[in-house]
Structure formats: C-alpha cells, structure tokens
Amino acid sequence: MTVKHEIKSQLAKLLATEDLIVEHKNVETAEFNVQTRVLLLPQWGKASNRVYDSLVAHEVGHALFTPNVDPPRHIPHSFINITEDVRIEKLMKRKYMGLAKTFYRGYSELADNDFFEIDGKDLDTLNLADRVNLHFKIGSFVNISFSSIETPIVNLIKDAETFDEAVSAAETLYNFCKQGQQEQKQEQEVNAKANLEADGQGSGVDNSDSTGDDSDTDSGDGNSISVEDSVGSDHDSSVNNLPHVDNTVPEEDDDVNDLEPDVQTVESLDRKLKDLVDNDDILNVYAEIPKIDLDKVVVKNKILHERMRLEWDEYEQSHDFGDTFYEVDQDYREFKRGAQKEVNYLVKEFECRKSADAYARATTSKTGVLNTSLLHTYKFNEDLFKKITVLPDGKNHGLVFILDWSGSMQMVIKDTLKQLYNLIWFCKKVNIPFDVYAFTLDYPLWTEDDGVRHSVYEKKEGVFQLCDNFSLMNFFTSDVNSKTLEEQMINIYRIAHSFTSYSNFLIPLGLRLSGTPLNETIMALHQILPKFKEENKLQKVQCVILTDGEASQLTYHKEVQRHWESEPYLGCGYVTRNTVLRDRKLGTTYSFNVDGWAQITDVLLRNLKDTFVDMNLIGIRILSPRDGGNFIRRYHYYGKEFDRLTKDWKKDKAFAIKDSGYHTYFGLSSAALANDDEFEVKTDATKAQIKRAFVKSLKSKKMNKKILSEFVELVA
C-alpha cells in the first residue's frame, strides 16, 4: 500500500502534541531542528506503513525528548545513538501505550528483512554494543545473552531517564567495548607469538612482559574506570555492581591504543534505512502563502471612481461630442428595467429558504399560563397551558465578489457584468453587505511620495511569488449610499460596453483588460475575507468568483547561489508536481501533484475552503458553447456524473460541478448569457415566429432560474 505522506505528517504532529512543521524530502536520514521546530523526514517510499509508523514515532521521540545540546566528542556517536534510542523509545511507549505494538510490528518487519545483517552470524561473537542494540530493538525475535559482568551495563542503559544518564551509559558501554577489543587484540598477538615460538621461528622471545600479569589488570589502580567516573556519583545506587573497566594498555603498543570498537548493527541499520528512500522521487519543495499588504494592493472604491470621473470630465471638456455617454447610459437603464424580474425571483427564493430554515429550527414550549378556553376539557385533555413558538434569528450574511478583468473576458465582460449586477441588486434588496473586487495587472499603483511601487509582501525563500503589478480594484461596496452605487455601476458599465461596441470616450488609466492574477487574488482572500467579516460583524461570508479562464502560472521564491556572486540570489521557480503548499496555521500541506498547471488554482481554493470552513466558495465560469464538454472532462472524464453534466449543458447551457476546488462551480454558456430573455416579436410576426420567440424566452428563463435557485441555496 502506498504511504500517504500527508497522513504521516499528521501522525507526527499528533504524537508530538505540537503543530510541528513536517517536511518529507529526498534525504537519507531524519533530522529535527529544535529552533524552527521542523521535522525533516526522508521519503521512505519503499517502506511499508508499519515500518513508516515506527520510524515516525522514533523521530518524534527525538523531537520530544532529545535536548538541543552537543554530545561529548570523546564518545563515538554510534554509542550515544544506542543508549539514546533506548531511552526515547521507552519514554514514547510510556507516553503512548499503543506505540508498544507499533514498535513491535515495525521491528518485526525489519528483523524479517535482516536490516541488521545478522543472518548466519553467531550473535555471541558480537561485541556488547551490538548485542545491546539488538536486544532493545529486536530482542523479541532473536535470542541475545549477556554475561554476569555485562548485565549491570545493560540495566544501566535500560534505566536511563535523562539525556545525561544516557550519555553516561554510552560512555560506560564504549569503555567496556574498547577494553574488550584491546584485550582481544593483545590475546591475538600473544597467540601469534606463541605459535611462532612453537614452530621454532620465535625462540628467545620472552612473552611475559608484553602480556603483563593478569592480576595487574584487575587490580583497580588509578587507570581503571570506576562507576563514579563513568556515570557520576549521584546516579542510582544499583549501578554499583558495574564491572571495572580498565583502559590500561602497553605504552609501546600504539596500534592497540588506537583501536576503536566497531558497532556493526548500527551501521547496517543506517545503510538499510537509506535503501528505503525512493531515490527516483523528485525532491519536494515547500512553499507558503505570503502575508499581503492590502493597503498596497487594493485600489479603494472612492479613489477609483473619483479618478475615473476626473478623467472623463477632462476628456469631455477637450472634445465636443455632445452627450458622450447618452447611448450607453440608455442601454444600462433598459437592462436594469428588464433585470428586475430576475432580481425579484432571487429575493423570493432567498426569503422562502430563510423562512423555511427558521421554521425548521423553531421551538415550541409551554408558558406556564393556563389556557382558560380549554378548562372545560380538563377531564380528557392534559394540555391546558398556553404555548409559545420561538423562531431563532437568521444568520447575518455577506458576499464578496471577484470579477475577472483579463483580456480573455473582452467578448463576455458585458454579459458577465450583467449577471454580477443582478446579484448586487439582490444584495441591496435583502440588505446583505457586499464588496466587489476586479483583479488586474494594469492599474498603476504607486506611492505618492517617490512615485515607486513598493513590494506588497516580504520576498523570501519558501513563499509564493506575486506579480509586482497585481492589484484589486474595489469596483462596488455596500458602504456607499444607493445614489453613489448607481453612479458607480454606470461607470463600470460604460467601460464594459466600450470593449464590445464602438465608443467615443476613453478608457480611464489602469482600467483596460490585462492578465489573469487569479492565484494571487485567492491568496489575498485569506486576508480580505476575515477583514470584511469583522468590519461588517457578519456570521457567514460567501465568496463568488466570476471568470472565464485559467490563472497565470504560479512561481515561488528560492535562493540560488551563482558562482560569480558571494551572496545567494533570490530567484524563483515554477510550481510543479513536486511543490507542496504548507499552511502553518492549519498545520496541513497540499500537494500540487496535478495533471496540469491549470489545476494549481484548485489546490489554492481547497486551502482557502479549509481556512474558512463556514464559507461557501462559489465559482461562475463563463464558457463558449464548444468548451463546455472539455471543461467538464477536467473533473469527470467519464461515468454517470459526466453524462449528467453533459446532458445539463446540452439542455440548459449550464451545469454545476460539486467536486472542484469550489464548493460549487457553475458553468454558464457565454452565448446563453448574451441572449435577451425578453419576449419580443414584431407587430406583423407570424404564428411560427411568435412560437419560436416564446420558446426561446422560456428556455433562457429556465436556465436562469435553475442556476439562480442553486445559487440562492448556497448563500441562504
């Protein structure tokens, strides 16, 4: 079964009882940074879930219980590893009783696969350090024996509770093994000399001085290591039974003095664990959403429309075109009159759903006051008290709209704006606060003091890169009065009209269509939504994004060391399959392991939904008639859901996808949006012409009502 790295990351956090930052990277060994609280785990792609769980639990043990201190240099690290591993696994089992079975199963699998490379070996020939390592890791599966001299050292390791005690136990273990290796080396040399002497090749050689008297070795002179020297005088009195470890060696035998004991099982386990790392995996790159300075990104509503009005006034004074905006303003008024039926339908649906919801949550209780009109029924009626029905207050709603102001929207921007205006008028009628932002790369945001636009976020390694000219234009807001809102809606309608029809007026600076910084906008919503909710004192906020295409490619900052520079250069890289979005607040990660760069937006949307769990995120996608099928296949390539959505698209020119990055992703035909749903025919029209016009009107209204009904269900 494939190991799910995100699940293992959650396991590590739960075990650590801390919101650790867990990173899975293509490294050979696990590491934990105590300062940054980052637990770096190898991508053990070849490990089973049992082994993975035991390895994660082991590394979390180090994160919890191993202090951030440098161990003594005179003790080899492998010996401290042995004693410290015993200590932290003991503490983890004590903290989480269920981990005993996890370690048992993990080490069982490691033993079966000979990760310690002991198959065919006589374990009694291994030194004490190897046998201790095997005893505490896989002692349930192999027989390990200790002598009466070794047992106190084993107990010392087992009883270590603090890191200092584990280090002291490691020092005792190391000295014991080193002395044993020295004695073994001396014995081998004595035997070799004895063999040469027996063969007549070493006559005249006196062996008595080279070996020394056995009684001197155990005499306990100043060169021997006592319990107090190895573990400290304040340690448990049970260690008094430890054997004396003598480091005395012949002065003339430097080779014997330089010997270091070898811990084969530690090296074998490290080597085998490195083999579990899937080297074919691409190195993961972790990136985070930056904190954006909204004051530098958002073009305020008042400033936007004041500059717009100023430019048009100057233009009208310098050009004598009569009433420049007469035709487009007349077109707006006609559209507004015709849209009232849809707006009223939205209001009716909204109020009905609110009333139904309130009725479903209504409670009825007795008042404690007698109902005198029922007193005569006391013999057969127990319900003689008056009742009262309590209807709970409805939720306080708010809506944030995001409008795509990119070049690809040119031919549908006016029709999309009409749909947006319907929703704005709906909000006004039911008294729902709203804000409308249009994203762009064209608006010239700069500071007034030096004429230079400063960065809207802190650029550093490991955060996503935002376009320097990214802006959000606050087209409309419920904070203004009705008269001002009407003037502002006419202003934007004029600009949208000019994109599809000839107009004899200029488009104000910064309001031309540009690129598609949709991904940047989603990142900015992490700050816009809570701010909007707090300022309007709302209980529930909905977000609606109206767009027709994909976002621009997303990049992240990374440091690159160029050979001609002494300091690292802050460059950037494209988000690919190996990029991971890390959210420190949620403690979760999101893999961008997607089929194409166009689906990167869905990952950002999922993170936004997880951040604001009480919000509905609604997408409205404007599609050409021939693009509907291709777009549906992005989420449902075949099957019942694909057939259902395709049928809806052919019949109603609209569909609703439920399993995208949005809670609901509406697809609307641009051709259907452009159709006028008014039932209009010529005075001399034939019966057939009247019939066709009526059917066309009904179809258009059916499409509108179906989508609007689903929309109201989400926001009610």
Q: Which structure tokens are listed for 138?
A: 């896989």
State the residue range of the domain holding 351: 294-363+398-715
User: Do residues 243 and 348 both lie within one domain?
Assistant: no
Task: Give me the mean pLDDT over the 227-233 stretch.
Answer: 39
Closest by Cα among 8, 66, 72 to 34: 66
Going by pLDDT thresholds of 50, 70 and 90, the confidence category of residue 196 is: confident
pLDDT in tens, 361-384: 445 555 556 666 766 665 656 665
Closest by Cα among 624, 635, 705, 629 to 668: 624
pLDDT in tens, 607-666: 999 999 888 899 988 888 888 888 898 888 888 999 999 998 888 888 999 888 899 998
The CB density around residue 152, as the number of other CB atoms within 10 Å, is: 18
pLDDT in tens, 241-290: 566 555 444 444 445 445 678 888 988 888 888 777 765 556 678 899 99
User: Do residues 176 and 298 both lie within one domain?
Assistant: no
549 half-sphere exposure, CB direction, 13 A CA radius: 17
User: Do residues 481 and 583 both lie within one domain?
Assistant: yes
Q: Which of 241-245, 541-545, 709-713 has the highest mean pLDDT?
A: 541-545
The CB density around residue 18, as the number of other CB atoms within 10 Å, is: 15
User: Do residues 272 and 349 both lie within one domain?
Assistant: no
SS3 content of the chain, % helix, strand, coil (to 5): 50, 15, 35
Q: What is the pLDDT of residue 338?
A: 81
Q: Is residue 210 part of a domain?
A: no
Q: Is 236 left (phi over 0), alpha (psi -120 to 50) or beta?
A: beta
pLDDT in tens, 183-192: 877 777 777 7
Q: What is the pLDDT of residue 90?
A: 94
Q: Is residue 134 part of a domain?
A: yes
The CB density around residue 543, as the number of other CB atoms within 10 Å, is: 25
Q: Is residue 590 part of a domain?
A: yes
Task: Give me the mean pLDDT over the 334-349 stretch.
Answer: 82
| Among candidate residues 241, 276, 311, the one where a domain is terminated | 276
User: Do residues 533 and 457 both lie within one domain?
Assistant: yes
Quote the percentage of the chain above a pLDDT of 90.
27
Q: Is residue 580 part of a domain?
A: yes
User: Do residues 13 and 44 both lie within one domain?
Assistant: yes
Q: Is residue 265 part of a domain?
A: yes
Q: What is the pLDDT of residue 482?
A: 93
Q: What is the pTM of this model?
A: 0.66
User: Do residues 232 and 326 both lie within one domain?
Assistant: no
Q: Is residue 286 part of a domain?
A: no
- Residue 328's identity, in one-letter code, is V
User: Do residues 186 and 316 both lie within one domain?
Assistant: no
Number of domains, the chain: 2
Least confident of 169-178, 211-220, 392-401, 407-416: 211-220
pLDDT in tens, 4-48: 555 556 666 666 666 666 777 666 667 766 666 677 777 666 678
Going by pLDDT thresholds of 50, 70 and 90, the confidence category of residue 698 is: very low
- Determine the Cα–Cα distance for residues 32 and 49; give it in Å rounded to an integer: 21
Count how many residues are written for the chain.
Answer: 716
Q: What is the pLDDT of residue 230?
A: 39
155 pLDDT exceeds 90? yes
> In this structure, are strands 471-477 and 298-299 parallel, antiparallel, or unpaired?
parallel
- Determine the Cα–Cα distance for residues 367 and 596; give it in Å rounded to an integer: 63
User: Do residues 251 and 300 both lie within one domain?
Assistant: no
User: Do residues 86 and 179 both lie within one domain?
Assistant: yes
- Placement of tokens 């020119």 in the chain: 653
| Among candidate residues 276, 302, 321, the one where a domain is terminated | 276
